[in-house]
Amino acid sequence: MAETVISVKNLEKVYRLYEKPIDRLKESLDIFRKSYHKEHYALKNISFDIKKGETVGIIGINGAGKSTLLKIITGVLKPSSGELKINGRISALLELGAGFNMDYTGIENIYLNGTMMGYTKEETEARLDDILSFADIGDFVYQPVKTYSSGMFVRLAFAVAVNIDPEILIVDEALSVGDVFFQAKCYNKFEEFKKQGKTILLVTHSMGSVLRYCDRVILLNKGEKLAEGTPADMVDLYKKVLVGSEDAEKTELEETAPPEQEGSLWKEKLILNPVQNDYGNGTAEITDFALCDSRGRITNQIEKGSDFTIKMKVRFRSPVSDPIFAFTIVNLQGVDVTGTNTMYEKAPIKPVKAGDEITVCFRQKMDIQGGEYLLSLGCTGFRDGEFTVYHRLYEVCSITVLSDKNTVGFYDMNSEVTIRQ
């Protein structure tokens, strides 16, 4: 049986919150020990074990307690109660800046971190070439790190973390500021570590990374451990938490079910773009929309290779003989990745009258590469021979494609490979 390298038992972190600074002084001087504070549990009764050689993901929405937990494991914070046992040398990459002196040069910080890990100067020097090669920031390594861009900083910090021979590597979301090429290099290092039997603890909002690299996942919510299990099951549960529900029945909708019967609009269950950009001549209005996974649940996260549905509800203020309904998916650089409309799909649509409401559903397979995208919706048509936009919602919500395998380009051709030897 594999050795336990991290053991967490009934761990709690409680903060005292005071409405006014003076309340702290009042509480310390009150002879009747009156309380002037409220207790906030950043972590509450957390327990789990991590075995040697596992890659374990910790996920949860913002404020779930992920970073607090990592800081306790790495010794940056002390728990209010509970038990923590570590068996192995930890190297941690927490939020940007942790463990670095901003006035020191990159080289000086390498030696500083080596000393903190218990290495002699000679032992750190033996690893210096590997660190510099991995970071690949050139002569900037001789400049104070306070002059670095965030990208250069994380390159150096990660290079130090992975090249000082840790037994346990802990990585917080800091990796997300690196460019895609550097991230690929880091994940290759993860694979190398896994083959060497090292333990990796990964905190990330990238569900694609969770599915691809993790053996097991722990889901936190509001400071408590909600569940732990396989990556697929935990990502599935995370999607429910993300829309404010832990009950699948609450998030499932029939394709034609009107939102009024559910007590809320479909779009209220999505993460929307806070900057609303819509336009049109007002003939029609897109009143509601949804992105649904293969099980009919409204979510911003769709697994690559699965079926999903984009649907929208449109109300007309004036008669239209041949309305066209459309969607477009763009990448974060604004490049159209894919899209279609009812005219392209040759979907028959009858003329509509003022006051009519139409629900349109586009069902298809998600073959786009894993990553982040944006969704635009539109209702258009031709009036007096001229193309007319009745209503368009531009980049109205995000789409996260979860993938454990990406190929080249925008989409996957789903090749079947046969090899004869």
Per-residue pLDDT reduced to its tens digit, 193-236: 888 888 999 888 777 778 878 899 999 999 999 999 998 889 88
Q: How far apart are CA 306 and CA 174, in angstroms?
A: 30
Q: How far apart are CA 133 and CA 31, in angstroms?
A: 62
Give the model's pLDDT for residue 24: 81
- 352 in Cβ contact with 319 (< 8 Å): yes
Q: How high is the mean pLDDT of the chain?
A: 86
Amino acid at 376: S
Q: Which of 51, 97, 98, 89 is nearest to 169 (CA)?
A: 89
Helix (H, G, I), strand (E, B) or coil at 132: helix
Q: How far apart are CA 126 and CA 164, in angstroms?
A: 10
Over range 61-73, report the average pLDDT.
89
- 156 in Cβ contact with 145 (< 8 Å): yes
- 56 in Cβ contact with 202 (< 8 Å): yes
Q: How far apart are CA 121 and CA 206, in angstroms?
A: 37
Over range 102-120, report the average pLDDT.
87
Give the model's pLDDT for residue 179: 62
- 285 in Cβ contact with 314 (< 8 Å): yes
Strand bridging mode 55-59 / 216-221? parallel
Query: Which of 246-250, 285-289, 333-337 shows the lowest mean pLDDT across its residues?
Result: 246-250
pLDDT band at 261 (very low <50, low <70, confident <90, very high): very low
Q: Select the more confidently predicted residue: 393 or 247.
A: 393
Q: How far apart are CA 416 and CA 5, in angstroms?
A: 40
Give the model's pLDDT for residue 8: 95
Q: Select the more confidently predicted residue: 123 or 244.
A: 123
pLDDT of residue 20 exceeding 70: yes
Give the model's pLDDT for residue 81: 94
Over range 118-124, report the average pLDDT.
86
Give the model's pLDDT for residue 252: 38
Give the model's pLDDT for residue 32: 79
Q: How far apart are CA 249 and CA 99, in angstroms?
A: 45
Q: How far apart are CA 229 and CA 101, in angstroms?
A: 38
Rg (CA), the chain: 26
* Architecture in CATH of 251-402: Distorted Sandwich (2.70)
Q: Select the more confidently predicted residue: 22 or 289.
A: 289
Segment 291-296 long-range contacts (CB within 8 Å, at least 24 positions apart): 291/375, 291/397, 291/399, 292/253, 292/255, 293/239, 295/248, 295/252, 296/252, 296/253, 296/254, 296/255
Query: Which of 53-62, 179-188, 230-239, 313-322 shows the lowest mean pLDDT across its residues?
Result: 179-188
Over range 141-167, report the average pLDDT.
85
Q: How far apart are CA 48 and CA 7, in angstroms?
A: 6
Over range 103-113, report the average pLDDT.
91
Say which residue the tokens 């800081």 belong to.
71
Q: How far apart are CA 33 and CA 282, in angstroms?
A: 64
Segment 178-183 long-range contacts (CB within 8 Å, at least 24 positions apart): 178/151, 178/154, 179/151, 182/151, 182/154, 182/155, 182/158
pLDDT band at 318 (very low <50, low <70, confident <90, very high): very high
Give pLDDT tens digits for 156-199: 888 888 887 788 888 876 555 556 667 667 777 777 888 888 89
Give the model's pLDDT for residue 94: 67
Which tokens in the block code for residue 184? 């690929």
pLDDT band at 36 (very low <50, low <70, confident <90, very high): confident
Q: Select the more confidently predicted residue: 120 or 97.
A: 120
Helix (H, G, I), strand (E, B) or coil at 355: coil
Q: How far apart are CA 167 and CA 29, in angstroms?
A: 47
